[in-house]
A and B are shown apart, each in its own frame.
Chain A
């Protein structure tokens, strides 16, 4: 057993981080938000999408003989964690899942989205839409970088079997984005807590602030172990559980980061709300938390 990143996995993570920070750093993120404000909704950056495709972002799990990178779910999870850190917009998970079946998805020339329960993201921008989106109507999305449509949707009566049948890859790639976002929120909070001074000292020296930060790390690291392990085993139930922890780490992490940042955390200008809104959105994609919990309970 060696449940740590291998050298290759570390290198992959560093490479993806470098690519994303260079191509979608903080300035690009804010420019995208501003653009969305001006145009009444975000635009998908097709060029960035193609660059991601060229870099193999969507093809990590595709076999080499099909033009992919030939790696596994753990590697894809590491890449998606980085995407979550920088809040990379777009139907990333749906496109990755379609890499083997939809021509152009792997290369980043075809943008794929799918209906996930009652919601579908990026419906207008996508080239290919999977699932039933009949009757979809646009909603004013809480996340300025994710356009949403609502699909008429009857929740199915037996959730447990439904979750077990769910492809663990989609669940885990979303969870990986949550994990990256949780880690980033923790970093933002810690940075702020070290710099901001009140009462003549950094607020990070106050225990009430310290303990918020410590719990952010605890939630992130516990979720990390869960998400990585589920990516290694590929077990749908383990993925369902890992996703619960990753959702919690991302949502609570952004909330606590907001609290640590004070009034600044409540501003549009801060990135905290972008993390929180995307984290909220991701918790609604895929099987519901209730279905995941029921599936885990049923297996006890």
Chain B
């Protein structure tokens, strides 16, 4: 067991740090959270800078245009960019973390050439059209229909909770291509251009007041058969490749950010007198142990991924369960530090507290994650 970074890894870190120190001061001001075109432009602009500096698609395979970095280098990248206060992946999330890696793993040469470079260069934004009104945790129950018409699919149905739908160029869409097959076997994965006729995007307001996701209605949308990644009716397997990426290093930057937030919470409590409360102090102390442990668990999982040379394993579900809960606990503690100010939307931690509420739901609810851990890791029998 070794927590020291190698000379190459440290060199990678210092080169990155130097670059970040040079470029970050020149960034344009952050757009208002409600200004979606502004947010898109900002996120894509940052991606373009990464691309020009050779940091785009760091963890992607080289033959997909990525840098083929090791999981540890990717960890360092996420740690350093967060430390330096660099922009988040933002609107590039689906392209870089879901759709891109799926196309890299399952797409044809032509598909990779068409879709991967624009993601890396920061030219195109993707969204994820998986969930439906009647298919959430039971994703395979999805009903959006795709009927073959010559060299096109004609797609009808609706998607929901689609993050970034308003500003996306493409949607990774799961559709039902064989309604008579068992539910996991009749699904296909399509790349849908968001400007195709028949698409209506209706933004949904979250409890935080913002419009982070949307409903997407599909009415006879024609999508070329050539946009299908993987074989017809093999979309479930293709999707699982994507989801395992989602549960890998996705939260590294956030864990670093949480540890910093904890330090700022303590500073605030010392300022406003709440520090005198031993119960609160102890709660903060325990959270410090918690986030240090989560950081170590991340390093453990990354080292494991590096050793097995591949896709992150079930360690991701263990991590997500613990982390999503810890994050909510962090912001509940923040509210305790703030006291009555926790009701002021002008306090940044108030907004963070609200958004933390989605962590035990998005990307597989905590109940579903516990099913996964119990069945796939502990080998308990499947329920009904």
A residues with CB within 8 A of B? 1-6, 9, 74, 186, 190, 193-194, 201-202, 204-207, 209-211, 213-215, 217-218, 221-226, 228-229, 231-233, 238, 240-242, 244-245, 290, 292-300
Q: A218-B373, A238-B292, A294-B285 are in contact. Are A1 and B4 (CB under 8 A)?
A: yes
Instruction: Provide a sorted-by-A list of 21 A–B residue pairs whose CB atoms are within 8 angstroms.
Output: A1-B4, A6-B1, A190-B379, A202-B380, A204-B374, A205-B381, A207-B367, A210-B374, A213-B378, A214-B378, A217-B377, A221-B318, A222-B322, A231-B1, A232-B3, A242-B289, A290-B282, A293-B282, A294-B281, A300-B266, A300-B288
Kindly supply a per-residue 1/0 record for chain B positions 92-131, scoring 1 wherever the CB is within 8 Å of any chain A CB and 0 otherwise.
0000000000000000000000000000000000000000
B residues with CB within 8 A of A? 1-6, 9, 72, 262-263, 265-266, 278, 281-286, 288-290, 292-294, 296-297, 299-300, 302-304, 306-307, 315, 318, 321-322, 367, 369-371, 373-375, 377-384
For the complex, what is the distance from the CA of A225 to the CA of B292, rounded to whole Å? 10
Query: In chain B, what residue has the closest Cβ to A238?
Result: B292
B293 x A242 contact (CB < 8 A)? yes
**Inter-chain contacts of B281 with A (CB < 8 A):** 293-294, 297
Among the listed B262, B265, B292, B374, which residue makes an inter-chain contact with A211, where contact means beta carbons less than 8 Å apart? Answer: B374
Given A6-B1, A294-B278, A300-B266, 20 more pairs with CB closer than 8 A? A1-B6, A3-B3, A3-B296, A3-B299, A4-B307, A190-B379, A202-B381, A207-B383, A211-B367, A213-B380, A214-B374, A214-B377, A215-B321, A217-B373, A222-B294, A225-B300, A232-B3, A290-B282, A296-B284, A297-B288
**Inter-chain contacts of B322 with A (CB < 8 A):** 218, 222
Among the listed B284, B318, B377, B379, which residue makes an inter-chain contact with A300, where contact means beta carbons less than 8 Å apart? Answer: B284
A1 x B3 contact (CB < 8 A)? yes
Query: In chain B, what residue has the closest Cβ to A204?
Result: B380
Q: A205-B380, A206-B383 are in contact. Are A1 and B303 (CB under 8 A)?
A: yes
**Inter-chain contacts of B384 with A (CB < 8 A):** 205
B1 x A222 contact (CB < 8 A)? no
Give, as a whole number of angstroms, the nearest-CB distance from B278 to chain A.
8
**Inter-chain contacts of B307 with A (CB < 8 A):** 2, 4
Among the listed A6, A201, A211, A244, which residue makes an inter-chain contact with B289, where contact means beta carbons less than 8 Å apart? Answer: A244
Give, as a whole number of angstroms, the nearest-CB distance from B16 to chain A.
16
For the complex, what is the distance from the CA of A244 to the CA of B382, rounded to whole Å? 33
A210 x B2 contact (CB < 8 A)? no
Query: In chain A, what residue has the closest Cβ to B5?
Result: A1
Tell me whether chain B's interface is mostly helix, strand or loop, or mixed: helix
Give, as a whole number of angstroms, the nearest-CB distance from B165 to chain A.
33
B293 x A293 contact (CB < 8 A)? no
**Inter-chain contacts of B318 with A (CB < 8 A):** 217-218, 221-222
B6 x A211 contact (CB < 8 A)? no
**Inter-chain contacts of A204 with B (CB < 8 A):** 374, 380-381
**Inter-chain contacts of A222 with B (CB < 8 A):** 293-294, 297, 318, 322
**Inter-chain contacts of B374 with A (CB < 8 A):** 204, 210-211, 213-214
B72 x A1 contact (CB < 8 A)? yes
Shortest 4 CB-CB distances between A and B: which pairs? A241-B289, A293-B285, A297-B285, A300-B266
B290 x A245 contact (CB < 8 A)? yes
For the complex, what is the distance from the CA of A54 to the CA of B278, rounded to whole Å? 47
**Inter-chain contacts of A205 with B (CB < 8 A):** 380-384
**Inter-chain contacts of A229 with B (CB < 8 A):** 3, 292, 296, 299-300
Among the listed A2, A9, A225, A300, which residue makes an inter-chain contact with B296, where contact means beta carbons less than 8 Å apart? Answer: A225
**Inter-chain contacts of A5 with B (CB < 8 A):** 1
Give, as a whole number of angstroms, the nearest-CB distance from A184 to chain B.
14
A194 x B266 contact (CB < 8 A)? no
Query: In chain B, what residue has the closest Cβ to A233?
Result: B3
For the complex, what is the distance from the CA of A245 to the CA of B303, rounded to whole Å? 21
A2 x B303 contact (CB < 8 A)? yes
A214 x B282 contact (CB < 8 A)? no
For the complex, what is the distance from the CA of A149 to the CA of B200, rounded to whole Å? 74
**Inter-chain contacts of B383 with A (CB < 8 A):** 205-207, 210
For the complex, what is the distance from the CA of A298 to the CA of B285, rounded to whole Å? 8
Among the listed A206, A207, A210, A241, which residue makes an inter-chain contact with B292, where contact means beta carbons less than 8 Å apart? Answer: A241
Question: Which of A217, A222, A295 counts the most B-chain CB atoms under 10 A from its CB?
Answer: A222
Give, as a whole number of angstroms, the nearest-CB distance from A99 to chain B.
21
Q: A206-B383, A211-B370, A221-B318 are in contact. Are A3 and B300 (CB under 8 A)?
A: yes
Q: A193-B380, A241-B288, A295-B285 are in contact. Are A210 and B370 (CB under 8 A)?
A: yes
